[in-house]
Structure formats: structure tokens, C-alpha cells
Structure 1
Amino acid sequence: MNALGVHALVWVGSTTPAEVEQAVAKTKAAGYDLLEFSLHDGLTMDVAHARGVLDAAGLQVACSRGLAPDADVSSEDPAVVARGADLLSKSLEITAGLGGKMFAGALYSAFGKASQPLSAKGRANVVGVLQDLAKQAAADDITLMLEICNRYETNVINTAHDALLLADDIGADNVKIHLDTYHMNIEEADMVRPVREVGDRLGYVHIGENHRGYLGSGHIDFNAFFHALADIDYTGPITFESFSSAVVAPGLSNDLAIWRNLWSDGEDLAKHAHAYLTNGLSAARHP
């Protein structure tokens, strides 16, 4: 059975102690196994407090992030690359401090539309930084998950095939592929072949509708995707990710272009998603 997760932005916009407590309580009440925190807006979490709350609730945790233009490891500027590498290292330390075993997201570039294609030098910088990060992660038994994002959010990897090539060049056993149905809907030809191409190198999954709202209210073929996961016997985490202007994270909401309310009740949304995932995954395992 897959651990089912939910993104903290379904509940709260930041990681203050009170908001962490709220996110943990609501995640547990909605029946999830895992809570994902974005470290995109900073490194200010009270890690010891958060770990205590997570442990008390019996929840797994994952962390994710992207990078800013002044800390872009795909840059050709050594100072910019160094800032990005330092930010990734500190984010990995937070993940370890929380007891997490998964550090996911766009770990390879600034988050946002690039003005030109990725250069060979920029790609080489990505590989070098992530090779070092993978060594740091291995010391704490953490796996890096390369999230494949759409062309309007990165110029480094946009498809499953791109991600596999990058992971091959990094060459570390603790670097896996992170598929996200929202991004797949934009970049992939269908929802099946990328899953099969990634196969046993799939480490993490984000489930999100094409408009990031209620599952089933858009046009993504989740039935085909769930069957593809069953075909490769994927047993890793599956985390529901949804954003609305009802919950605002000052930096991330703007970066993700969350301009409208796709939902206003996070509890109803999360409970609906849990049932949708449970039923869809179960059906796919029993065709």
C-alpha cells in the first residue's frame, strides 16, 4: 500500500509552530500518512518542535523546494551556484532534522520561466551540485527526488525522459524521479508512458488536477495514471498537492500564480482527495 500524503499548503501558509501544529492535526484527522512541507519561503521552521509534533502524531514527513534566481544552481555564475548549493544543503539539514527521508522538488534550478535554454555549463553545474547533495543526503539515508516541472517553471527537466538523463549523469543510487500529474498534463503525451519509462526509479508522486483544484473536477486521466502505477508495482508515497488563494504563502503563492480560489475549505478538499486516491488506487490494483 502507498503512503498517502498531503501538502501543508492545503492547511496553512507558513511553518510557524502554531501552523505546524494545525497542519499536523488536520493531516492526521483527514486520514493521511505523510505531510509535505515546502521550504520555498525560507528556513525558519522550529525543527525540534515540528519533529516532536510529527512524531507524536505518527506522521511521515517530506520536504520540498525550488530555488530563487540569485541561488540558481543551473546558472553559469559561480557565486549564484554556490548560494544555491548552500540553500539546498541547509534545506537537507532541515529534512534530516524532521526525521524525513525524502527531499523533493525542483532542486536543480530557479523557479520560474527562463529566458533562454539551459546551457551546457549550467547543466554541468546542476550535476556537480546534486552529486555533492546526494552524498550529504546518503549520510542521513535521505533520497533526493527530482521533480519534473513544466516549461514555464524550469528549463532543466520538463519530461520523464529529461529527468532520467539527468539522474543518470548524477549517478547516485539515492536520486529518484518525482512525477507530478499537474506538470505531466502540460508536458507529456499521456499519463501512462512516462510512468512505465521511469519504472522502478520512481520515488515520489504528486497528485494534482490540471487546475490544481478538487481531484476529478478537471480533465486529467487519473484512472490511466493509477493503472500505470499498478503496472510498475509502485509502492512509494503519493502526495496530494493543491493550491488556492484561500491559503496564502507569501512567496510561493505568487511564484505558482495562485490568483483565484479553487477551493475555500481545505478540510473538505483533503478528505475528498483521500477518498478519491484510496478508491482509485484500490480499483487499479483490482482490474
Structure 2
Amino acid sequence: MRNIGIYYAYWTDDWDTDFLPFIPKVKSLGFDQLEINGGALVSLSKGERQRLKESALENGITLSYGIGLTADHDVSSLNESIRKEGVNFMKKMIGAVAEMGGGMIGGTVHSYWPATAPDDLSVKKQILMKSHQSMKEMIPMAEDLNVILNVEVINRFEQFLLNTCQEAVDYVEIINSPNCKILLDTFHMNIEEDSFGDAIRLAGSHLSALHLGETNRKPPGCGRIPWSEIKTALDDIHFEGPLVMEPFIKPGGQVGKDIALWRDLMPTADLDNEAAKSVQFVKKHLL
């Protein structure tokens, strides 16, 4: 059964916040899963992490973790000091997620975000090799602690290392670990892929999770993403991973700045109501 989840920052202006209230909220709206900031999890105390874990168990909510590593934690950096700092930070995150019972960390676990491509694109291969090196240093710990690292395929305007599913498949096949998988995102796929269905089928068993969002980042059901094509492809590969909505619709704070939200996309919307409607839409069209 495919879990339906949502990313907490749909409701927030800043990446760092109190995640605890979102657990009963998403349960009441019909979700199975809540995705929170994996980086912020590292800075929480053991007691705070324990309270999150207990609340998730009480509410029957699965937790997953997203991360856009910052430039000073870039695990693909050609600067060895920065690269090592990034690996150390990721290992702390893997340990924190293990305390929560394990699970998925998805996003730029392979690089950083938002990113600007190097002036000399000939060094991209070297950067990719550094990313491989870092992942191979992190993945044994992830394997030991039941943590999955999902490399996210992100569009060219936000990242430069893995823009297509094919690039992600090549990446995870080099790493060759059951704990290094792929995260696709319909918003990014709309920009980069020739076909939603073909990209999903190409990912195949490497696909660990799917982020859901319309072409303008509104919740599923508020746009023109070809959901029937996506469902067919998910069925074709027998996908049973989570479907996590990642809508961003309101400007403000660091979230709005990083996502490039310069206007309110749904100015009169009740966010909770729209999220609940989107759950029903996903149940109808993707389960």
C-alpha cells in the first residue's frame, strides 16, 4: 500500500520550526506520512526526538526526512574540508534518524541546494566523483542503521549534478547499495523529463519515493500533471513506496526565498482544507 504524505513546509515560512504539532494535524487531514527537515532533526535534543517518535507512533504516522544540504556541507565539493564537513553532518543525520527508528532521508544527500553550476562545466565529472566518494563513505553507516538515502533528481534551475532520472540511475548503480535509492519529483520531472511514465519505468526498483506537486508547485489536483500516466507507470514497476506531496504556494521567510515564491499562488485558500482535498485526489488517482 502506498503511503500518502506531505512535507511540513507547506505550512511554514522557515525551515526550522516545531515539528510536533504537524503530526496530529496531518493525521486529522487523512495523511499516512509526514516529511520533516532532516537537518533540523540533528540539532534537536534526544528528548525532543523521542517526543516526535512517540507522537508519530501514537498517531500512526510514518516520518521521513528531507534535506537540502547547504553549500558549507556540500558532500560533492572539490574543497576537501567542505566535503568532509558535509559527510560528518550527514552521518550525524543518519544517526539521528536511526534514533527515530530508521527511515528515508531524501533530497540533495549527494550534493547541495540551491546550487549554481561551476563556470567551467568540465569539472562536473570531478564533482560527481567526489559525490560518489562521499556516498560510499556514508552508506555503510546507513546500511547498519536501517536508513535509506534517496538521491533526488532536481531541475536545472536548482541543481546541476543529477537533473534526469537516467543520471540518477547511473549514480545509484555505481554506489550499488540497497540503501542508496532514487527520489523523483513530479515538479522537477515536468521540467526535465521527456516522459513521466518512461522516467518512472527507467527508475524501476531503484525508485524509493515520489514527491508530488503540480507544475507550479500547487497541491496535486490543482494543475495539469498527467496523473493517470504516472499511476500506470507506478503500477508497471509495482511501486509500493511513499507518495509525498511537496506543495509550496505562499511567499515569505527563508522557505519562500529558497523556493522562489514571489507571489501567493492560492491567496484565498484554507491550507488545511486544500491539503485534505488533495489527499482524496491522490487516493482516487494514484492508489
> How far apart, in 2, do the equivalents of 1:224 and 1:94 lie?
37
* Aligned pairs (5 A) from 1:242-281: 242-245=247-250, 250-263=253-266, 264-281=269-286
Aligned to 1:207: 212
State yes or no: 1:241 paired with 2:243: no
Tell me, yes or no, if the aligned pair for 1:36 and 1:62 is still in contact at 8 Å: yes
TM-score w.r.t. length of structure 1: 0.90
Superposed displacement of residue 99, structure 1: 2.2
Partner of 1:285: none
1:231 paired residue among 231, 236, 247: 236
Q: 2:34·2:64 contact (CA, 8 Å) conserved in 1?
A: yes
Question: Could you say if the C-alpha distance between residues 14 and 152 of structure 1 is closer, same or farther in structure 2, counting changes exceeding 3 Å?
Answer: closer
CA contact (8 A) 1:3 1:238 kept: yes
For residues 274 and 100 of structure 1, what CA distance do their matches in structure 2 show?
25
Counterpart mapping for 1:132-211 below 5 A: 132-211=137-216
For structure 2, the residue ranges without an aligned partner over 5 or more in a row are none
* Change in CA separation of 1:39 and 1:142 when aligned onto 2, cut-off 3 Å: closer
Runs of 5+ consecutive residues of structure 1 not aligned to the other structure: 283-287
For 1:173 and 1:226, locate their aligned partners in 2 and report how far apart those are by CA, in whole Å.
Answer: 24
Cα distance in structure 1, aligned partners of 2:167 and 2:278: 29
| Distance (whole Å) between structure 1 residues aligned to residue 112 and residue 41 of structure 2 | 14
- Distance in 2, Cα, partners of 1:183 & 1:9: 18
Structure 1 distance, partners of 2:99, 2:262, is 33
Deviations 1:213-257 (A, max 9, x none): 1323222111111111111111111111111226x5x43432221
Q: Which residue in 1 is equivalent to 2:106?
A: 104
Identity %, equivalent residues? 27
In 2: Cα distance, 1:172 partner to 1:93 partner: 18
- Residue in structure 2 matching 1:48, options 47, 50, 64: 50
Q: What secondary structure, in the 3-state scheme, does the structure 2 residue paired with 1:107 have?
A: coil
Count residues with an aligned counterpart. Answer: 278
Is residue 73–residue 122 contact of structure 1 (8 Å, CA) maintained in 2? no
Q: Deviations over 1:65-112 (max 9, x none)?
A: 011122212211101111111221122222222224111111111212
Question: Given the alignment of the two structures, is residue 92 of structure 1 paired with residue 97 of structure 2, yes or no?
Answer: no
User: CA separation in 1, counterparts of 2:28 and 2:259?
Assistant: 27
Written as runs of structure 1 = structure 2, the 5 A alignment for 1:115-134 is 115-116=117-118, 117=121, 119-134=124-139
The letter for the 2-side match of 1:38 is N
Question: Secondary structure of the residue that 1:161 maps to in structure 2?
Answer: helix
